C-alpha cells in the first residue's frame, strides 16, 4: 500500500499529476467559465519547464512518500483490541454500473467480483465513491448514511461493534488509497487531509504560518542532504532543455503571449517561495485580478 520507493519515480508516467499544482475541479469555482479559465491557466503553468515530468515534481512525490511513511501510516494503525475484525472481502469496483436496485432503491445484486480480495477492515469501512470508485464522497450526510447502514446491518448480524477510531482510520484510507494509486486529480489535497486527520487539526487553515504545516514540512525536507542527493539523481533523467523550450514555444504560440506572461509570473512566485501551492485559491485570485485590470 506504500507509494513506490523514491528511485522508481523516474520510470513512472506522471500524466496530470503535479503535487504542488493540483488539477482544478468544477466544485472550486462558481461558474463553469471560471473553471475552464482555471484549467487553461493550470495547463499554461505546468507547460513552463515541463513541470509534470520534471525532477522537481518527482522529488515532491518522493518527499510525500517519506511523509506518509513517518507521519501518516503510524496514525492509521489501530490498537490490537480494535483489530479483531479479520480481513473482510472487498469489491474494488463498486460503481453505479455494477449495482442493481429495485423500485424502492434496495440493492438486489452487485456484479463484477472478478478482482475482489481480502483487505484490512478500514478499507472495507471507507465510504465507497459514486458514481465511480475514484470519486471521493465529500457530502457528510452521505458518509453518515453509509456508516449508519453499515452499523445497522452489522448489529442485526450480531457482529462486532465498529469503534469510532475505526471510522476515522477508514476516512484516512479513502484519501490514502486515492493518493498512492495516483487515481485522483488533486493529490496534494489528499495528502493535506491525511496530515490534518493524523494530527487531529480541525482544518488545513489551522496550519497557516505553522512550521509544522504541510508546505513547511515539505519545504524543510527538500533541503536535507538526502533530498538534495536524490534531486541530483532525478535531474539526470530530465529531458534536454532545448526540447522543453521547443514544446513551450509551440504551445504558447498557439495560446498567446498574454497567457505566457501570466504563467511566467506564477512560475516566478513558485520559484521564490518553497511553500508555494498552485491550488484553487491561486487561480481564483488570478481570475479576480484579471477581471479587475480588464474593467479598470
Whether residue 101 is found in the same domain as residue 62? no
Q: How many CB atoms lie within 10 A of CB 58?
A: 26
Kindly state whether residue 204 falls inside one of the protein's structural domains: no
What contacts 232, CB < 8 A, 6 or more positions away? none
- Does residue 253 fall inside a structural domain? yes
**70 and 216 part of one domain:** yes
- Tell me if residue 56 falls in helix, strand or coil: helix
DSSP secondary structure string, 196-222? Answer: HHHHT-S-GGGGTT-TTSHHHHHHHHT
In a domain, 98, yes or no: yes
| Pair (45, 94) in one structural domain | no
Taking residue 251's Cβ as centre, other Cβ atoms within 10 Å add up to: 16
42: domain range?
Answer: 6-74+211-295
**What's the predicted TM-score (pTM) here?**
0.85
Is residue 185, in this structure, part of any structural domain at all?
no
What is the per-residue pLDDT across 242-252, written as a single tens digit (0 to 9) for each?
A: 999 999 999 99
Do 218 and 240 fall within a single domain?
yes
In a domain? residue 261: yes
| Grid cell for residue 14 | 506522471
Alpha-carbon span 132 to 194, nearest angstrom: 21
- Per-residue confidence at 25, pLDDT binned at 50, 70, 90? very high
**Radius of gyration of the CA atoms of the chain, in A:** 22
pLDDT digit string (tens) for 94-120?
888 899 999 998 889 999 998 899 988
Amino acid at each position: 500500500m506504500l507509494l513506490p520507493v523514491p528511485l522508481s519515480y523516474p520510470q513512472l508516467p506522471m500524466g496530470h499529476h503535479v503535487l504542488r499544482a493540483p488539477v482544478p475541479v468544477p466544485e472550486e469555482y462558481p461558474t463553469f467559465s471560471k473553471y475552464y479559465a482555471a484549467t487553461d491557466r493550470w495547463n499554461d503553468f505546468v507547460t513552463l519547464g515541463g513541470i509534470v515530468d520534471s525532477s522537481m515534481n518527482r522529488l515532491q512525490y518522493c518527499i510525500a512518500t517519506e511523509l506518509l511513511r513517518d507521519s501518516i501510516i503510524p496514525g492509521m494503525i489501530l490498537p490490537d483490541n480494535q483489530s479483531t475484525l479479520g480481513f473482510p472481502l472487498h469489491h474494488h469496483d463498486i460503481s453505479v454500473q455494477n449495482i442493481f436496485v429495485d423500485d424502492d432503491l434496495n440493492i438486489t445484486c452487485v456484479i463484477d467480483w472478478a478482482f475482489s480480495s481480502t483487505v484490512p477492515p478500514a478499507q472495507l469501512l471507507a465510504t465507497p465513491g459514486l458514481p465511480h470508485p475514484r470519486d471521493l464522497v465529500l457530502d457528510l450526510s452521505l458518509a453518515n448514511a453509509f456508516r449508519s447502514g453499515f452499523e445497522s446491518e452489522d448489529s442485526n448480524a450480531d457482529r462486532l461493534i465498529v469503534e469510532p477510531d475505526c471510522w476515522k482510520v477508514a476516512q484516512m484510507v479513502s484519501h490514502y488509497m486515492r493518493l498512492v494509486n495516483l487515481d485522483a486529480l488533486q493529490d496534494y489535497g489528499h495528502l493535506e487531509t491525511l496530515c490534518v486527520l493524523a494530527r487531529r487539526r480541525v482544518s488545513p487553515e489551522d496550519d497557516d504560518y505553522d512550521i509544522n504545516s504541510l508546505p513547511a514540512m515539505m519545504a524543510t525536507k527538500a533541503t536535507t542532504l538526502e533530498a538534495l542527493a536524490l534531486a541530483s539523481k532525478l535531474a539526470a533523467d530530465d529531458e534536454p532543455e532545448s526540447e522543453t523550450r521547443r514544446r513551450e514555444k509551440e504551445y504558447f504560440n498557439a495560446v498567446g503571449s498574454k497567457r505566457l506572461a501570466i504563467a511566467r509570473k506564477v512560475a516566478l512566485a513558485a520559484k521564490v517561495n518553497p511553500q508555494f501551492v498552485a491550488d484553487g485559491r491561486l487561480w481564483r485570485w488570478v481570475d479576480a485580478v484579471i477581471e479587475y485590470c480588464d474593467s479598470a
